[in-house]
Structure 1
Amino acid sequence: MLQLLTSPQIREADNYTIKNKPISSIDLMESASAAFVKAFMDEVPDRDTLISVYCGTGNNGGDGLAIARLLKEQAYDSISVKIMRFSPKESADFKINLDRLKLTGIPPSELSNATNLPKENASVIIDALIGSGLNKALEGDLQTLIKHLNKLKKKVIAVDVPSGFPTEGVIDSNATVLKAKLTITFQCPKINFFFPESAYATERFIVADIGLDEDYIQSQPGPWKLIEEKDLKGLIKIRKPFSHKGSYGHALIIAGNTRTMGAALLCADACLHSGAGLTTACIPEQGMPALNAYAPEVMTLPRSELTSEVNSGKFNSIAIGPGLGTNANATELVKQALDFNIPMLIDADALNILAGNPPLLNKLPEQTIICPHMKEFDRLFGTSANWWGRVALAQKKAKELSLIILLKNQYTFIALPEGDILINPTGNPAMAVGGMGDVLSGMIAAFLAQGYTAKESAILATYIHGKTGDILNQEMGMYIIPPGELTLLLPEMIQSFCEAS
């Protein structure tokens, strides 16, 4: 997994690389600027595009000056450079790149205040005003400038971080930020890019490798880790000759109610398609004909026989909650499940039952996986003012209760009992459809049944679920992805990870 760094850690990684690679700071800046330009050329291939580079006088501004020079070398001839001298300070590398820029024939203009700002004719603005490490809200001339630029509705591409945006910590949605269409960030994603409030600052981000020491980055302490595709390679167990259905576990799905039987069907079908050798659905009797028609491979279990069947030892995992309802009968089912001492996933209505019966939270077996979306999480543990606070609370509760909390969003956060926060990068807005969470629950139940640990099951299911959605959206052009369509592609996607291992 990729270790994500705070701003102070990123500065230390810069310093370590400069000292040990060895490489001078100005050459590292040149490497970063070249990486930016390479990504920029893919985004803006038209060499006749009118480009305006806005630079501060620190190292982010130095990047901007180098970027302008390198773009000129790549035949982008319509470039203007505007330097904001709102402070007498300038970094040494900024000064070097300013001298280099003057040799290209690009005459930079300098502004000492934000009054009477010049007309902006460029269609693309490169934001190199402020880099990472911001520790206070913008004010004064810089705030005035950024508000002015935002009103122009230009395509803004930010260098490393949108100006005014904090790389970690609480994101103030009312703060002044230069709003970017794209951020080309250096070496690794900034932690706050994965929080929903970042959407007002940048629509997209891509990562440009600038040559920092990766071993040093990976050695740094901190809870924030990004799941990478390589983490799954070798994790999927290849099916062996002479294995049989009993080799791959038996999952039990406790789900469904009179009006919400579809959730149970989606969950059970996803469990089947994710590799459980046997899947049984404990659903209301009136739903059994629908299940037989939808997924005849899934067995059924009357609720009156639940305890005796579980106590027989035949099940290897349980998923409870999708479409279950929150009435007295559903509550009793949740209470029964907590006594079964089998690897368990709790989702949807079962979470709402826990929220309405707080003492039950302390009865959850260790390593239980819970999968709340934002509202379910807030009902369980209390409302948070922002997503930074919500994830911090998930981290705290995962430790306290020895749970794995899978907090769902576009970028899902997985809080582990040892304190780490794993961020899943896969998934897209086309998956924002009712029933998609039920599919995820069925997948987790399948991996648990096959003998994967709770942590492995959470990682595998979340990443593959999102990756499958990405393929349907990006490669097959599906604007909206029906959950059942995603389920059908799961066996092929899981197999692809076996082949890549």
Structure 2
Amino acid sequence: MQTLLTSTQMRKADEYTITNLPIASIDLMEKAARAFVQSFLRDEFDASKNIAVFCGNGNNGGDGLAIAHLLCHNGCENVKVYILNFSDKESKDFLINLQRLDESKCRKTLVNSVAELKNIKADIIIDAILGSGLNKPLEGKYAELAGYINKLNKKVYAVDVPTGFPAEGKIDANYNGIKAYKTICFQRPKINFFFPESAMATETYEVVAIGLDENFIQKQESDFLLTVEADIHHILKPRKIFSHKGTYGHALIVAGNTNTMGAALLTAKACLHAGAGLTTACIPPSGLIALNTTLPEVMALPREEFTRIENPAKFQAIAIGPGLGVSTENERLLERLISSNQALVIDADALNMLAERPDLIEKIPEKSIITPHMKEFDRLFGDHECWWDRVNTAKSQAQKIKIVIILKNQFTFICLPDGKIYINPTGNPAMAQGGMGDVLTGIIVGFLAQKYTSAEAAILACYIHGKAGDFLASDRIVVSASQIAEQISKEIMKLTF
């Protein structure tokens, strides 16, 4: 897992690297500028484009000056630097790079006010105005400049972080900072890049390595961790010789209703492809033909016979909710499963019923997994004005109830009972279709049946679910939930060997 750091911790990582590598701070800034320029030129290879580099007079501005110098050195013909004289505090490395720029052929101009900016001829703007660490909206000249740049409607590349965007913490709903096309950030993504409100500040981001000490970074205390592919390789267990269906567990899926059998079928299909040895679908009698026709490998348990099960513990994993429907009967069924004290995967209509029965929420068995999207989460735990607050509520509730909360979004937050928040980076907008949550639930219960821990099952399922979508989206604009379910076992094979 990659440890994600706050802006303060990243500055400490800079200082540690400078002291212990050792490397001069100006040389580390040069490495950062080179990494930025390499990434930038892969995107923007037309050397004739007009590039305007806006530089503040701190270290972010120092990065910008070094970037401008390197762009000129790499053959960019029309680079102009705008040095903002909005503050009398200049960093040491900014002054060194300003002197270097004076010795080069880069054009520059000093800007004392936004009113001086007229007739800027720029195809691309590089934002090196203010760096990370800002925790309040822009004010004064900086706010005026951000508004001016945004109105130019040009492609903007931000250096490390868009000016005015907080690296962590609440993101103001009335964000007034730079709106970047792309942010090229150093060594680690900012924590806030994973929150939906970040779309106001940057359309996308890329992380470039600049040589900071990785051992130091990984040892820092942080609640936020980013899942990477190596983690999945480490968790997945290859299948061994002499194993059989009993080795891989028995999953029960309580799902589907007269008009929503599709949800049950998707969940069961995903469970099969995730590798459960046996899968039983507890469904209404009206769904038997659909199940037997579509998924002959899945056993059926008619819903009215469920009460005859003497011991739910015969199943290694139980999921409830997809397409289930909200009714008094189903509420009693959910309550019965919760009282069995066996870890559950709770999704969809089961979450909606929990929202109406807050007395049951704190009775959810330990190590259970709930999988709400934003609206379901707020129905469970109250309305939230921003995602930072929502994720922190998920963190506290996961600790309080001792469950895993998978808060679904573009970047899904997996909140564990120990207070750690694992961010899943896979997945894409092509997956924005109905049934995706049903498939995710099926993958989770499939992994649980195979005796993965709740944390492992959640991390694996989210990553592989998104990875399947990323593969399928490589040659199509829309990916269906059925396609994802059928791709799961292929992705597991890729990640296992």
TM-score of the superposed pair, with normalisation by structure 2? 0.99
Is structure 2 residue 127 aligned with structure 1 residue 127? yes
Q: Which residue of 1 aligns with 2:489?
A: 491
Corresponding residue SS for 1:301: strand
Greater CA deviation, 56-65 or 44-53? 44-53
Evaluate the alpha carbon distance shift between residue 248 and residue 310 of structure 1 in structure 2; reply closer, same or farther with a 3 A threshold. Answer: farther
Paired amino acid for 1:324: L
Partner of 1:280: 280
SS of equivalent to 2:207: strand
Contact 1:53–1:127 (CA under 8 A) maintained in structure 2: yes
Contact 1:7–1:133, Cα closer than 8 Å, also in 2: yes
CA contact (8 A) 1:316 1:343 kept: no
Stretch of structure 1 that moved more, 336-345 or 405-414: 336-345
Q: Which residue of 2 aligns with 1:175?
A: 175
| Deviation at residue 489 of structure 1 after TM alignment | 1.0
State the partner residue of 1:238.
238
3-state SS of 1:406 partner: strand
Quote the Cα distance in structure 1 between the aligned partners of 2:424 and 2:394. 15
Contact in 2 for aligned 1:430/1:479 (Cα 8 Å): yes
Cα displacement (A) at 1:207: 0.1
Offset of residue 325 of structure 1: 0.7
AA at the equivalent of 2:490: E
Identity %: 55
Query: Could you tell me which residue of structure 1 aligns to residue 468 of structure 2?
Result: 468
Match of 1:233, SS state, is helix
The one-letter code of the counterpart of 2:398 is A
Distance in 2 of aligned mates of 1:384 and 1:277 = 40
Question: Is this contact kept in 2: 1:316–1:342, CA < 8 A?
Answer: no
Query: What is the distance in 2 between the residues matched to 1:302 and 1:256?
Result: 11
Taking a change above 3 Å as real, the CA distance of residues 254 and 472 of structure 1, as seen in their structure-2 partners, is: same
Q: How does 1:419-438 map to 2 (within 5 A)?
A: 419-438=419-438
C-alpha distance in 2, partners of 1:363/1:145? Answer: 53
Q: After superposition, where does 1:264-279 map in structure 2 within 5 Å?
A: 264-279=264-279
- 2:479 corresponds to which residue? 481
Distance 2:317 2:415 in 1: 20
1:12-65 per-position Cα deviation (integer Å, ceiling 9, x unaligned): 111111111111110010011011011111111111121110000000000000
Report the equivalent of 2:262. 262
Verify the 8 A CA contact 1:448 1:457 in the aligned structure 2: yes
Post-superposition Cα deviations, 1:468-488, rounded to whole Å, max 9, x if no partner, equal: 101111x2x221111001111
Alpha-carbon separation, structure 2, partners of 1:419 and 1:313: 28
The one-letter amino acid paired with 1:398 is A
d(CA) in 2 for partners of 1:63, 1:460: 38
> For residue 148 of structure 2, what is the aligned residue in structure 1?
148
Distance in 2 between residues matched to 1:173 and 1:80, nearest whole Å: 33
SS class of match (2:114):
coil
Question: What's the offset of the Cα at 1:313?
Answer: 4.3
Instruction: State whether residues 312 and 340 of structure 2, in contact with CA within 8 Å, keep that contact through their aligned partners in structure 1.
Output: no
Is the 2:175–2:200 Cα contact (8 Å) retained in structure 1? no
Separation in 2, partners of 1:484, 1:338: 29
The SS at the match of 1:467 is helix
Q: Aligned runs of 1:44-443 on 2, under 5 Å?
A: 44-309=44-309, 311=311, 313-443=313-443
Higher mean displacement: 324-333 or 460-469: 324-333
Q: Once the 2 structures are TM-superposed, how far is the Cα of residue 384 of structure 1 from its aligned partner?
A: 0.7
**CA distance 1:167–1:313, shift in 2 (3 Å):** closer
Distance 1:309 1:495 in 2: 35
**Structure 2 regions of 5+ residues with no counterpart?**
none
Preserved contact between residue 7 and residue 132 of structure 2 (Cα < 8 Å): yes
Q: CA deviation at 1:312?
A: 6.6
- CA distance in structure 2 between the partners assigned to 1:139 and 1:59 by the alignment: 20
Tell me if structure 1 keeps the 8 A contact 2:114–2:144.
Answer: yes
Structure 1 residue 118: deviation in Å? Answer: 2.2
Q: Which amino acid aligns with 1:280?
A: T
- Structure 1 spans left out of the alignment, 5+ residues: none
- Moved runs in structure 1, 4+ residues, more than 4 A? none
Letter matched to residue 297 of structure 1 = E
For 1:463 and 1:291, how far apart are their aligned partners in 2? 27
Q: 1:238 to 1:15 in 2, by over 3 A?
A: same
